[in-house]
Amino acid sequence: MSTITAAERVAIARHPQRPNVCDFIDGLFTDFFECKGDRLCGEDAAILGGVARFHGQSVTVIGTRKGKTLEENLKCNFGMPNPEGYRKALRLMRQAEKFRRPVITLIDTSGAYPGLEAEARGQGEAIARNLMEMSRLTVPVVAIITGEGNSGGALALGVANRVLMLENAVYAILSPEGFASILWKDASRSAEACEMMKLTAPDLMHLGVIDDIIPEPEGGAHTAPLQAIRQVDRALRRHLSSLSKESGAALAADRYQKFRKMGAAASQKEEL
Amino acid sequence: MNSIFAKRRARLLAMKAIRDNYVPGDKLVTCPKCGQESERKAVAEGLSVCPHCGYHWPIGGYYRLSTILDPGSFRELNAKYPAADPLSFPGYRGKLTAAQHRTGLNEAAVTATGSIDGHKCVVGVLDSRFFMGSMSAAVGEKITLAIEYAAKNKLPLIIFSASGGARMQEGILSLMQMAKTSAALARLSDKGVLYISVLTDPTTGGVTASFASLGDIILAEPGALIGFAGPRVIQQTIGETLPEGFQRAEYQEEHGFVDAVVPRAQMRETLARLLMLHEKGGRA
Ligand SMILES: [Zn+2]
């Protein structure tokens, strides 16, 4: 698998048969109960959330949802959340905090929806609020990037104690097509962008942005979905069990330090 | 002694500020909004605001600070914090160097301590002349250090945002600055310290979706474009022409995301009043 190019990984990450959030929830949890609505004005199907059991422990699960059929795609806005989706996610995270259960997020989105209504209802504010509130949760938070994790729309579910990535998942500031069109005004140069963007799991592990890579079956998770889900189960169990030994204050402090270090040049701090 | 240093600091800031008050044009400048011509000198003396229609030209970081802070109170924080190229992105180093020469800045953020009408505070400014004020690792770090300085010293924090969004050449590390700055603001908030966010033209992308939207008080300059997605992307997505005034400061005020639209000429007194209101005073 090491010879696989970044552009090939992007294609695998977007494969239509790749296990999606519903497959992961079915395979990883029992007794899933879906919770809907942001309690402010709406329900956004692009984010799926609820309570479930993971090996006997109650957990809050939140994931982006694309749907597999065209009808589902349209209902889920192709996995691009509106502010209501992020606000629902925040509501469920606050509930997790209240009931002292871990938060598990499953991320697969091309980004937050860039629509007129989304802007009118504060897409930027919704994402910012999630980043702030996630950073101070005192329960374990594990984020798993299962497919494509793009932009602030992915990060809004990604401020976790442990950020895990499937082997062929990608995580980036925006899509390679968007990157190429902004930087070179030419979306067709996306394959070139893929290599430069450092969006693969090994690259991100090297940069310290993620904490673990979950192996996929040869050829990608879609070739043997159950096997892929078993690997996710194993990784999730391992990380949750090590996090559950920490106090709430330690979990919040560790999460802070983890993101605090990102992009900080060593020994440049200077105070007056 | 103190007053000598204060005078020296005032002179230094004034010198840096002159370079920043950069309304383009020779003797006469043309307003991009109303198209009318004005004397360059008159515009510069009027805080770079069009005397005919009130259009606010973008202004540089040091000039912005000179219009806000008490003379002689400016002390820069982390002035020498270096720009970085964390992904070794082809051609990026050269572009950074060129931007540094052109603007006299190390990076797009300037942070300082100072006072406004005697109220001590920490102020951060994003300068749109440097890579469109985009969020680099250095910008995120300088803003975070300023937030932490404010938290440690329990000083109110003011950040003037102006940003085109992510710094493409720093990729995922640009994205991570959103989490870092927002987490630092959570800690500042937990300490009960005031944070005033001022949105200036344009504030978009990752800056909007992090520290710019998290102020206890959010102010905006008139006409400033404020949003997460840029208007061009939205127009392409929905295939419709956007309504007049969409995403402007006044629109955001109407939609509940801005406390007040404050013209540049009233910014200093407004900030002074807000700082005063958040100080512990006598009993009623
Ligand atoms: Zn004008």
Residue type at position B24: P
- What is the bridge-based pairing of β-strands B75-77 and B109-116? antiparallel
**How sure is the predictor about B18, in pLDDT bands with cuts at 50, 70 and 90?**
confident
Give the domain A6-259 fold: 2-enoyl-CoA Hydratase; Chain A, domain 1 (3.90.226)
- What is the bridge-based pairing of β-strands B157-163 and B195-203? parallel
Query: ipTM score here?
Result: 0.96
**What does each C-alpha distance from B15 to B18, B19, B27, B81, B101 come to in angstroms?**
5, 7, 21, 21, 16
Cβ within 8 Å, pair B89-A120:
no
Give the separation between CA B124 and CA B158, rounded to whole angstroms. Answer: 6
Domain ranges in chain A?
A: 6-259
Q: How many residue contacts between A and B have a Cβ separation below 8 Å?
A: 185
| Residue where the block lists tokens 């344009």 | B202
Give the separation between CA B109 and CA A103, rounded to whole angstroms. Answer: 35
Sort out which chain B residues have CB atoms less than 8 A from A119's CB and list them: 227-229, 234, 246-247
pLDDT, residue B161, reads: 98
* B195 φψ region: left (φ > 0), alpha (ψ -120 to 50), beta (else): beta
pLDDT in tens, A142-168: 999 999 999 999 999 999 999 999 999
Residue type at position B263: P
- What's the B26 CA to ligand 1 centre distance in angstroms? 17
Region of poorest pLDDT, from A39-43, B27-31, B55-59, B174-178? B27-31
**What does each C-alpha distance from B190 to A238, B152, B186, B187, B219 come to in angstroms?**
32, 12, 6, 5, 22
Question: What's the gap in Å between the CA of A35 and the closest CA on chain B?
Answer: 25
Q: In this model, does residue B19 exceed pLDDT 90?
A: no
Q: Is B59-277 a CATH 3.90.580.10 domain?
A: no
- What's the B132 CA to ligand 1 centre distance in angstroms? 22
Give the separation between CA B112 and CA A272, rounded to whole angstroms. Answer: 10
A68 close to A75: Cβ distance less than 8 angstroms:
no
Cβ within 8 Å, pair A263-B137:
yes
pLDDT, residue B13, reads: 84
Q: In this model, does residue A1 exceed pLDDT 50?
A: no
User: What percent of chain B lies above the pLDDT cut of 70?
Assistant: 96
State both tokens at A256.
Answer: 């802070």
Sort out which chain B residues have CB atoms less than 8 A from A263's CB and list them: 84, 86, 136-138, 140-141, 170, 173, 176-177, 180
Chain B interface includes A138 (CB < 8 A): no
Domain ranges in chain B?
A: 59-277
Q: In this model, does residue A272 exceed pLDDT 50?
A: no
State both tokens at A197.
Answer: 């963007």
Give the separation between CA B97 and CA B272, rounded to whole angstroms. Answer: 37
* A14 φψ region: left (φ > 0), alpha (ψ -120 to 50), beta (else): alpha
| C-alpha B211: how far from chain center | 11
Interface subset of B 70-99, CB within 8 angstroms of A: 75, 77-78, 80-82, 84, 86-87, 89-90
pLDDT in tens, A11-32: 999 999 999 999 999 999 999 9
CA angle A182, A117, B140 (to 5 degrees): 45
Q: In this model, does residue A125 exceed pLDDT 90?
A: yes
Q: In this model, does residue A269 exceed pLDDT 50?
A: no
- What is the pLDDT averaged over residues A189-205? 95
Give the separation between CA B141 and CA B126, rounded to whole angstroms. Answer: 13
Using alpha carbons, select from A148, A100, A104 the residue that is nearest to residue A248. A100
Sort out which chain A residues have CB atoms less than 8 A from B255's CB and list them: 120-122
Nearest to A207 among B80, B172, B246 (CB): B172
Nearest to B141 among A112, A118, A264 (CB): A264
Give the separation between CA B233 and CA A179, rounded to whole angstroms. Answer: 13
Nearest CA in chain A to B185: A132
Question: Which segments within B35-98 are labelled E, that is strand?
Answer: 37-39, 75-77
A170: three-class secondary structure by DSSP: strand
Q: Model-level pTM?
A: 0.96
pLDDT in tens, B242-256: 999 999 999 999 999
What's the 3-state SS for A119-142?
HHCCHHHHHHHHHHHHHCCCCCEE
- What is the pLDDT averaged over residues A63-68? 95
pLDDT in tens, B145-188: 999 999 999 999 999 999 999 999 999 999 999 999 999 999 99
**How sure is the predictor about A271, in pLDDT bands with cuts at 50, 70 and 90?**
very low
Q: Tell me the pLDDT of chain A averaged across its residues.
A: 95
Cis peptide before B263 (omega within 30 of 0): no
pLDDT, residue A270, reads: 41
Residue type at position A133: E
**How sure is the predictor about A267, in pLDDT bands with cuts at 50, 70 and 90?**
very low
pLDDT in tens, A74-120: 999 999 999 999 999 999 999 999 999 999 999 999 999 999 999 99
